[in-house]
Amino acid sequence: MSLFLAPPSYFPLRSLRRSTAANQPRLPVLVQCSAADKKSPAARRSSPYQPNMWNNDYIQSLTAESPSKGEEEDRTTKRLMLLKERISEVICEKKEVEEQLRLIDHLQQLGVAYHFKDDIKGSLRNFHASLEEISSTFKEDLHATALLFRLLRENGFSITEDIFEEFRDEKGHFRDGLKNHAQGMLSLYEASYYENDGEMVLHEAMEFATEHLKNLLEEDSADMKLKERAAHALELPLNWRMERLHTRWFIEACQREVIVIDNPLLLEFAKLDFNAVQSIYKKELSALSRWWTKLGVVEKLPFARSRLTENYMWTVGWAFEPEYWSFRDAQTKGNCFVTMIDDVYDVYGNLDELELFTSVVDRWDINAIDQLPDYMKILFLALFNTINDDGYKVMKEKGLDIIPYLKRSWADLCKAYLVEAKWYHRCYTPTINEYLENTWISISGPAIFTNAYCMANNLTKQDLDRFSQYPAIAKPSSTLGRLYNDLATSTAEIERGDVPKSIQCCMHERGVSEAVAREQVKELIRGNWKCMNGDRAAASSFEENLKKVALDIARASQFFYQRGDGYGKADGETMNQLMSLLINPIV
C-alpha cells in the first residue's frame, strides 16, 4: 500500500453499537464551564500539575567523565565489533528453518536486530519465497508456524491466516489438544495480535490462546518460568509493547534463564549494546537539558508542565536506534513545545488570545507577535527560533527546505487545539466522529510524523515533493495515542473542566454508561491496530522507517497511559521504567 493512500478504515464505528439495555436513558455529559468563563475574557483556569522531577544538575551528572571511563568505552567498542562480526557469520550459516527463525526472533527481542537488517531481511525474503514448502513441513508444529507467521507479517511480508488451517478441526475450531503445547499457545497468542480487519481465524486464535494461557497461570504444576512468560504476554502482547523497554525485560529474563538463548554470544552482545546505546541517550539528554535550561521558557510560563526527560523518553520509544539522533533531538524539543502550547489552550489562555496565537502560528510571521500578550510572545518566539533552526540545519547539510512542512504541522496542531477550546467555551459535546477527526491532529501525531519525515537520514527532494499530505498510517497511529490517553486521563480532565473525551462523547451520543463507553473505546483501539497491521508493507527503507515510527507512537502511548496518566504524573511506574531505560545499565 502506498505511503499516502488511506487505509481501508480508521474508525470502525460500525462495531460500536448502541446499548441494548431496555429503556436505558441518555446520560448527559456536561462540560464544567462557568458563567465567569463565558463573561470574562481574562478568566484563567489552573491545573495542579506535578512539578518537574528531573533537574539539570542531576542530568548533567549522568555524563560526568572519570579517568577510567574512556578506556572502558574503548574496550566495550572493540568487543562489540568482534561480537557483531561473529553473530553476522552465525546468521549467514546454513541451518534448519526453525532454528533460523528462532535466531531472528531472539535478535529482535534482544534489541540488536538493527545491526543486521539486511541479513535478516534476506533470510525472511527467502522464507517467503518458499512459504508453501516451509508451511507444509511445519504442519504439525504450531510454535514454528506461528513464529513464521509473526516474523513475516511483522516485517512487512504478505502472509494469510490460512496457514493456521492445519490446526483446526472439521468444525473450524482450533483443536483442543493444542492447549497442552504451552510454547505453541504463546506463539499463537503473539501471532494473533498481528491480525488484519476481517481475519476471523486470527480472532479465534486470540481468544483460544488467551483462554489457555490464563488456565496455565492457574495450574499449580506448571513450570514457573513458563508461567512468568505467559503472565508477561497476557499483560500486553509483543506487538503492543514499547520496544526498548521489552528489550530490557527480555535480556534480564534470559539472564535469569526464564528464556533460553542457544548462543551465549547473543546475550553478551545484547547486554553490551543496550548499555552502550544507553550511554548515547545520556549524552543526548544532557545536551537537551542544557538547551531547555538556557531557553528559560519554563520560568515565563509557570502554569505549564515542564517534562523534558519524559519528552525525551517518548522519542526513544519512537526511534531508539543511535542513527536517529537528529530526530530524537528535534522531536524532544517539539514535545516540550507541544506540552506547553497544549497547556496554554487547555488551561491558561482565553479564547481571544488563543485565536490570535493560532493566527500568528499559521502566518509564521515574527512581525505579528505585537498582537500577543507577553507570555505568548515568549512562547511563539522560542518556537519560531527552534523550528527555524532545525530547518537551517537540514538546509545546510542536505540543501532541502523543510521549514514549510514544519510550519504546516504546527499550524494544523494549533488549529485543532482551537477547535477544542471553542468546544469548551461553548459547552459543546461533539459526536465521536467529530472528536476523532480533530483529535488525531491535536494529539500531535502529524507534527511527530513531519519531524520523522523531514529529519530522515535518507530524505530526498523527491520525498519532500510528495509530502503534500500526511502519511496515511499517521491517522490510525495518532488515533491510538489519543484513545490510550483518554482511557487514562479523561476522568481527571473532566473534573478539572476540560472538553469531553472519547468516552464522554460515546456516552452522550449513544446513551450508554461509562463502563460501556470504555469498552467501545477499547473496540476502537483494536480496530485501529488492525488497520495498522494491514499497512506494514513498504516499498523502500524510507517508507519502512516511517511506518515503524507509526507503530512505535502507538506503543509508547500505550506505555505512558497503561496504568494512568504516566506523563502528567510521571512518578511511580514511569519513573521506574525511565530509570531502567535511560539511567541504570544492565549488570
Q: Is residue 24 part of a domain?
A: no
Residues 221 and 322 in one domain: no
**Mean pLDDT to the nearest integer, 536-565:** 92
Domain's final residue, options 224, 252, 269: 269
Quick check: 493 pLDDT over 80?
no
Residue 568 belongs to a domain: yes
**Placement of cell 470574562 in the chain:** 40
- The 8 Å CB, 24+ separation contacts for 319-322 are 319/452, 319/545, 319/548, 319/549, 319/552, 320/111, 320/243, 320/244, 320/277, 321/114, 322/277, 322/280
Count how many domains the chain has.
2
314 and 263 in a common domain: no
Confidence of residue 72 (pLDDT cuts 50, 70, 90): confident
Which of 30, 10, 29, 14 is CA-nearest to residue 506?
Answer: 29
Q: Is the pLDDT of residue 36 over 70?
A: no
- Poorest-confidence range of 32-41, 105-114, 460-469, 510-519? 32-41
Please tell me whether residues 537 and 442 are part of one structural domain.
yes
* Angle, in degrees to the nearest 10, between helices 403-425 and 374-398: 150
**Do 228 and 377 reside in the same domain of the chain?**
no
CA proximity to 28, closest of 512, 493, 499, 517: 512
Hey, which residues does 168 pair with through a beta bridge?
174
Q: Do residues 258 and 317 both lie within one domain?
A: no
pLDDT interval class at 43 (50, 70, 90): low
Mean pLDDT of 564-586: 89
Q: Is residue 513 part of a domain?
A: yes
Q: Which domain holds residue 189?
A: 84-269
Q: At what angle do helices 142-154 and 97-109 cross, to 10 degrees?
A: 50
What's the pLDDT score for residue 8?
A: 38
265 and 376 part of one domain: no
- Average pLDDT estimate for 459-465: 93
Q: Which three cell numbers stand for residue 103?
A: 535466531
pLDDT at 69: 77
Tell me what the mean pLDDT of segment 236-249 comes to.
Answer: 97
Residue 414, amino acid: C
Tell me the pLDDT tens digit for each residue of 202-215.
Answer: 999 999 999 999 99
The mean per-residue pLDDT over the stretch 489-505 comes to: 84
Is the confidence at residue 54, as pLDDT, over 60?
yes
Q: What is residue 271's predicted lDDT score, i.e. its pLDDT?
A: 98
pLDDT at residue 46 above 50?
yes
Whether 256 is in a domain gets the answer yes
How is residue 53 annotated by DSSP? -
More confident residue, 308 or 25: 308
Pull the grid cell for residue 538.
513498504
Please, which residues bridge with residue 174 across strands? 168
Same structural domain for residues 238 and 316? no
CATH for 172: 1.50.10.130
Dist CA 241 CA 359 (whole Å): 39
Q: What is the mean pLDDT of residues 233-261?
A: 97
- Together in a domain, 340 and 470: yes
**DSSP 8-state assignment for residue 6:** P
* Residue 5, burial from CB neighbour count under 10 angstroms (0-12, 13-18, 19+): exposed
| Whole-number average pLDDT of the chain | 90
Domain presence at residue 286: no
Verify that 165 and 215 share a domain, yes or no: yes
Where does residue 107 fall: left (phi above 0), alpha (psi -120 to 50 degrees), or beta otherwise? Answer: alpha
Return the closest-CA partner of residue 337 out of 361, 359, 320, 353.
361
Q: Give the pLDDT score at 332.
A: 98
Share of the chain above pLDDT 70, in %: 91
* CA angle, residues 78, 82, 84, in degrees to nearest 5: 115
Residue 279 included in any domain: no
Looking at residue 563, its pLDDT comes to 87
Question: Has residue 476 got a pLDDT over 50?
Answer: yes
- The DSSP-derived string for 543-585 is HHHHHHHHHHHHHHHHHHHTTS-TTTS-STHHHHHHIIIIIPP
- In the numeric block, the cell 540543501 is attached to 399
| Residues contacting 400, CB < 8 A, separation 6+ | 394, 459, 460, 461, 464
Asked which of 46-60, 283-297, 353-367, 428-442 is least confident by mean pLDDT, the reply is 46-60
Give the residue, 318 or 45, on which the prediction is more confident. Answer: 318
For residues 160 and 202, what is the distance between their CA atoms, to the nearest angstrom?
A: 10
Same domain flag for 258 and 303: no
Do 253 and 339 have their domain in common? no
pLDDT category, 3, cuts 50, 70, 90? low
Q: CB-side exposure of 445: number of CA atoms within 13 Å?
A: 32
Query: Residue 506: inside a domain, yes or no?
Result: yes
**pLDDT for position 35:** 35
**3-state SS, residue 483:** helix
- CATH number of the domain bearing residue 355: 1.10.600.10
Instruction: Write out pLDDT tens, residues 356-410.
Output: 999 999 999 999 999 999 999 999 999 999 999 999 999 999 999 999 999 999 9
Would you say residue 16 has pLDDT above 90?
A: no
Clarify whether residues 411 and 555 are in a common domain: yes
In a domain, 47, yes or no: no
Q: Give CA–CA dist 153/537, Å, rounded.
A: 9
Q: What share of the chain is helix, strand, coil (3-state, %, to 5)?
A: 70, 0, 30
